[in-house]
Chains A and B, each alone.
Chain A
Amino acid sequence: MRVPLPFLHECTVKMTTLRAFTCDDLFKFNNINLDPLTETYGIPFYLQYLAHWPEYFIVAEAPGGELMGYIMGKAEGSVAREEWHGHVTALSVAPEFRRLGLAAKLMELLEEISERKGGFFVDLFVRVSNQVAVNMYKQLGYSVYRTVIEYYSASNGEPDEDAYDMRKALSRDTEKKSIIPLPHPVRPEDIE
Chain B
Amino acid sequence: MAARGHVQDPNDRRLRPIYDYLDNGNNKMAIQQADKLLKKHKDLHCAKVLKAIGLQRTGKQDEAFALAQEVATLEPTDDNSLQALTILYREMHRPELVTKLYEAAVRKVPSSEEYHSHLFMAYARVGEYKKMQQAGMTLYKIVPKNPYYFWSVMSLVMQAISAQDKKLSQTMFLPLAERMVEKMVKEEKIEAEAEVQLYYMILERLGKYVEALEVVRGQLGEKLTSELQSRENKCMSLYKQLERWPECNALSCKLLLKNPDDWQFYMSYFDSLFHLIDQGWEPPSEGEHCSEGEVRSSVAQAIAFVEERLAVEEAKETRPLRGPFLARLELIRRLRARGCPEEQELGEPLELMFQYFIKFGDKPCCISDLKIYLDLLTTDHHFINRLMETVPLSEPQDDGVALPGDTRALQRHLCVAQLSRALGLHHALDTTGKLDLIRQLKSHYRHGLQFGKSCLKTELQFSDMYCLLASHVYIDLWAETGDETMLWQCLGLLEEGLSHSSSNAQFKLLLILLFCRMGAFEPVVDLYSSLDAKHVQHDTIGFLLTRYAESLGQFAAASQSCNFSLRFFHSNQKDTSEYIIQAYKYGAFEKIPEFIAFRSRLNRSLHFAQVRTERMLLDLFLEADLSSSLEDNVKSMGLCPEEDDIPWTDMRDNRDLTVLTSWDPADRQLSEEQRSFSLQEELLWLKVRFLTLRLVGTLAVLSHPPTPRNAEKAAENGVVAKPDILRPLLDQLNTTLQNGAQFLERGVQYPFLGPSPTRLAHALASGSCHCQVLAFQLAAYVQELDAAALEETTEVQTQISNSFKSLLIQLKEILNKCKGDLLEVKEGQCKTQPTLLENLVFFVETVCVVHWVSCFCAGVLRPLKASLQKRKKKKKEPISMVVFSGFQEFTAGLQSLFSEVLDHIKGQETSLTALKLGELTLEEWTVSHLAAYKQRGGREPLSPMSRDGLFMCLDQQDWE
Please report B residues at the A interface, Cβ cutoff 8 Å.
225-228, 233, 261-264, 318-323, 326, 330, 360, 363-365, 368-369, 371-372, 456-460, 503, 505, 531-537, 539-541, 571-572, 575-576, 578-579, 582-583, 585-586, 588, 590-591, 594-595, 597-598, 601, 654, 656, 659
Contacts and interface: CB of A to CB of B under 8 A. Distances in A.
Contacts of B579: 44, 47-48, 50-51
B591 A112 contact: no
Nearest to A7: B319
B318 A9 contact: yes
Contact of B365 (A23, A41, A96): A96
Contacts of A18: 228, 262
B575 to A, nearest CB: 5
Given A16-B263, A43-B576, A95-B460, 4 more contacts: A11-B319, A36-B457, A44-B578, A52-B582
B505 A23 contact: no
Contacts of A50: 579, 583, 588, 591, 594-595
Contact of B368 (A22, A36, A96): A96
Q: Which 4 A-B pairs have the closest CB atoms?
A: A47-B579, A23-B598, A34-B505, A15-B322
A63 B263 contact: yes
Interface of A: 2, 4, 9-20, 22-24, 26-28, 30-31, 33-37, 40-44, 47-48, 50-52, 54-55, 58, 61-64, 66, 68, 95-100, 109, 112-113, 116-117, 129, 132
12 contacts: A4-B459, A13-B360, A15-B263, A27-B601, A33-B537, A40-B533, A43-B571, A51-B582, A51-B591, A52-B582, A68-B365, A113-B228
A172 to B, nearest CB: 16
Contacts of A30: 537, 540-541, 656, 659
Contact of A47 (B262, B371, B575, B601): B575
Contacts of B572: 43
A66 B368 contact: yes
Contacts of B597: 23
Given A28-B656, A30-B540, A112-B228, A13 B319 contact: yes
Q: Which of B371, B578, B591 has the most CB of A within 10 A?
A: B591
Contacts of B541: 30
Nearest to B371: A64
B228 A109 contact: yes
Contact of A35 (B318, B319, B330, B505): B505
Nearest to B602: A43
B264 A17 contact: yes
A15 B656 CA distance: 24
Contacts of B575: 42-44, 47
Contacts of B320: 13
A98 B364 contact: yes
Nearest to B329: A63
B321 A12 contact: yes
Nearest to A101: B319
Contacts of A11: 319
B263 A23 contact: no
A100 B601 CA distance: 34
B321 A27 contact: no
Given A51-B588, A55-B226, A63-B263, A12 B318 contact: yes
B361 to A, nearest CB: 12
A97 B365 contact: yes
A24 B659 CA distance: 16
Contacts of B503: 35-36
Nearest to B197: A54
A55 B227 contact: yes
B225 A116 contact: yes
Contacts of B576: 43, 47
Contacts of A47: 575-576, 578-579, 582, 595
B561 to A, nearest CB: 17
A16 B260 CA distance: 10
B594 A23 contact: yes
B741 to A, nearest CB: 32
A35 to B, nearest CB: 7
Nearest to A10: B319
Contacts of A109: 228
Q: Which of A48, A63, A97 has the most CB of B within 10 A?
A: A63
A27 B261 contact: no
A10 B536 contact: no
Given A16-B262, A51-B591, A113-B228, A100 B365 contact: yes
B323 A15 contact: yes
Nearest to A97: B365
Contacts of B372: 63-64
B536 A26 contact: yes
Contact of A14 (B261, B459, B535, B654): B261
B595 A23 contact: yes
Contact of B588 (A52, A98, A99): A52
